[in-house]
Structure 1
């Protein structure tokens, strides 16, 4: 009889820890996700503050343009077409386009030795 009481007492101590273990298991992923978001935000802010004239960027609305004036603290001027310059907030810049990707696309188009004639739509 004393043996069964001892087993029940040991089992109840584990049951009393169960809510704390469940809470711990729920908050660990939340904590790790918060750290990941904070790191991504810092990387984005560093990219936005390091923008220079001539960089090709994409805004949060999907507009692609070339920076013509990045001398202001909060805004930049983007050339979105020949002679069309618009002013944007720096925080509206989502990503910087790597210059290597545009030159590879141009060289692939200019080689044209594939033999197939694909017609690409022109966006105006």
Structure 2
């Protein structure tokens, strides 16, 4: 009885721990792929919440332009997400819209 209870307790505590470790490894791998695939012109967000555009890349350093003419250097590991390009109002959307006939 005591052995089966011990095995049950081990399973109850080990299974969630193993699943958590797998999720963390997957997230770490995803972050490393993102950081390795950065390119000039990418819009990114740092761990500190700073939004900017990549203007230069070195070994472990990313230079971000945070405002026109204002650039800062960040460790590549500080980049946590890539943002989609902004949508320009009145850009190409008007060209593909069908015309209404009167």
TM-score range, shorter chain: 0.7 to 0.9
Taking the TM superposition and a 5 Å limit, the aligned residue runs for 1:44-83 are 44-70=31-57, 72-83=58-69
**Deviation of the 1:19 alpha carbon:** 1.2
Greater fraction helix = 1
Give the greater-gyration-radius structure (CA).
Answer: 1
Aligned to 1:86: 72
> Over aligned residue pairs, what C-alpha RMSD do you find?
1.4
**Deviation of the 1:81 alpha carbon:** 0.5
Q: Normalising by structure 2, what TM-score?
A: 0.82
Q: Normalising by structure 1, what TM-score?
A: 0.68
Structure 1 stretches (4+) deviating beyond 3 angstroms? none
> Gaps (5+ residues) in structure 2?
91-102
Q: Bigger relative contact order, structure 1 or 2, given CA contacts below 8 A and separation 6+?
A: 2
**Deviation of the 1:35 alpha carbon:** 0.4
2: CA distance, partners of 1:27 / 1:54:
44
Aligned to 2:26: 39
**Deviation of the 1:15 alpha carbon:** 4.0
> Gaps (5+ residues) in structure 1?
1-13, 109-124
Greater fraction strand = 2
